[in-house]
Amino acid sequence: MPDGPLAIGVDIGGTKVAAGVVDASGSVLHRTRRDTPHRSTSPRVVEDTIVSAVEELLGHGDEVVAVGIGAAGFVAADRATVVFAPHLSWRNEPLRASLGERLALPIFVDNDANAGIWAEHRFGAGRGESHLVMVNLGTGIGGGIVIDGRVLRGRFGIAGEFGHMQVVPDGIRCECGNRGCWEQYASGNALVREARSLMSAGSPVVSDLFERVGGDPGELTGPLVTEAARDGDPLARELLGEIGRWLGVGIANLAAALDPGTFVIGGGVSAAGDLLLEPARVAFRRQLTGRGYRPEASIVAAQLGNEAGLVGAADLARVGAADLAWAEAADRADRAEHADG
């Protein structure tokens, strides 16, 4: 038997739309996926993809109380509007209203990183931690914040864009238009850029990586560097160590601002495990404000992997539906009291 009310979570990424029916313990009962429509596609086609996935899951006959959408991009604090999604054509898109016209269920929209941290807070590496920060290392850096058991979204819904903190004045140019952003030094892109730079220079220290990509630097990826590091390649380990050190510097800055008890590190680069996290922990201790005179947050790897987004989106929707039901019941009771009076 499923544990508690069921909700559907939909995780919309740059390449795939993953969806699942999730129970109150975080277990995924049914799954489906679709390719993400190309970024030039109209909003309606993306909505069609979401509706198709949700309707397939509803076809299993489960009683679902809500649908949660986790979208890569800026989501307004109203959890209804996608302000900007870099991989899709959404610009101030009223996604909750649009989907609500086609799906007879409460809809809740959130940033995918918020969905991810909520899943880790409820069911994963951050379970039981009241003050939690998640840092996702992928192509860039994203993240989320949970304070006192609630997702901190910010005044405009855009909290957690940690990758664009400036860590090096006048540093490497970032895609956002600024220079020296954290994600230019501690991300999958940074890892691959440094390796390719050595390969293009013909450095003998990258001979193992050259062999892995058949001599073509353009074929190099972050997972390949991680695999080489796990196999003992000294250069790959050095590059991951450098990424880890920059990760620790940024985390120390976040600790100064937010003072969490735990940092959860997710995203593709986190698959390197302690090859990444140990250098991060060392750099964190060196850079931490008040080091030696304050408690230190722990730095741990995320546990839920690729399913964190859909699990978190579903659970946030379940909580949202319960809050909505409570508010409606309170409103009915208030109206009845005034009518009796």
- The parent domain of residue 88 ranges over 6-118+305-332
Do 311 and 273 lie in one domain? The reply is no
Residue range 215-231: average pLDDT?
91
CA angle 185, 186, 187 (to 5 degrees): 110
Of residues 258 and 89, more confidently modeled? 258
CB 299 within 8 A of CB 8: no
With a cut of 60, say whether residue 40 has pLDDT above it: no
Which residue has tokens 């994203």?
A: 142
For residue 41, is it left (φ>0), alpha (ψ between -120 and 50) or beta? beta
Do 88 and 133 lie in one domain? The reply is no
Do 54 and 76 lie in one domain? The reply is yes
Supply 130's token pair. 């009241």
Do 196 and 284 lie in one domain? The reply is yes
In total, how many domains does the chain have? 2
With a cut of 80, say whether residue 98 has pLDDT above it: yes
d(Cα 143, Cα 163) in Å, to the nearest integer?
8
Neighbours of 42 (CB within 10 A): 11
Do 192 and 317 lie in one domain? The reply is no
Our measurement of the distance from residue 10's CA atom to the centroid of its chain's CA atoms, rounded to an integer in Å, reads 13
Query: What's residue 335's pLDDT?
Result: 75
Q: Is residue 1 part of a domain?
A: no
Do 138 and 59 lie in one domain? The reply is no
The phi and psi torsions of 251 (rounded to 5 degrees) equal -65, -40
CB 166 within 8 A of CB 178: yes
Q: Is residue 340 part of a domain?
A: no
d(Cα 147, Cα 154) in Å, to the nearest integer?
12
Evaluate the CA torsion angle 95, 124, 113, 131 in order and state its sign.
Answer: positive
User: Domain containing 196 — which CATH number?
Assistant: 3.30.420.40
**Average pLDDT over the chain, rounded to an integer:** 91
Do 56 and 142 lie in one domain? The reply is no
Query: What pTM value is reported for the model?
Result: 0.90
Please state, in angstroms and as integers, the Cα–Cα distance from residue 72 to each residue in 20, 167, 291, following that order: 17, 24, 35
Residue type, position 230, single letter: R
Do 80 and 199 lie in one domain? The reply is no
Query: What's residue 328's pLDDT?
Result: 66
Residue range 247-266: average pLDDT?
97
d(Cα 136, Cα 122) in Å, to the nearest integer?
17
Q: Is residue 341 part of a domain?
A: no
d(Cα 41, Cα 54) in Å, to the nearest integer?
20
Q: Is residue 123 part of a domain?
A: no
With a cut of 80, say whether residue 332 has pLDDT above it: no
Do 153 and 40 lie in one domain? The reply is no
Which region among 15-19, 242-246, 301-305 has the lowest average model confidence (pLDDT)? 15-19
Q: Is residue 339 part of a domain?
A: no
CB 326 within 8 A of CB 289: no
Which region among 29-38, 226-235, 329-338 has the lowest average model confidence (pLDDT)? 329-338
Q: Is residue 337 part of a domain?
A: no
Confidence of residue 296 (pLDDT cuts 50, 70, 90): very high
Do 317 and 291 lie in one domain? The reply is no
Do 113 and 134 lie in one domain? The reply is no
Residue range 255-271: average pLDDT?
95
d(Cα 338, Cα 109) in Å, to the nearest integer?
34
Do 177 and 113 lie in one domain? The reply is no
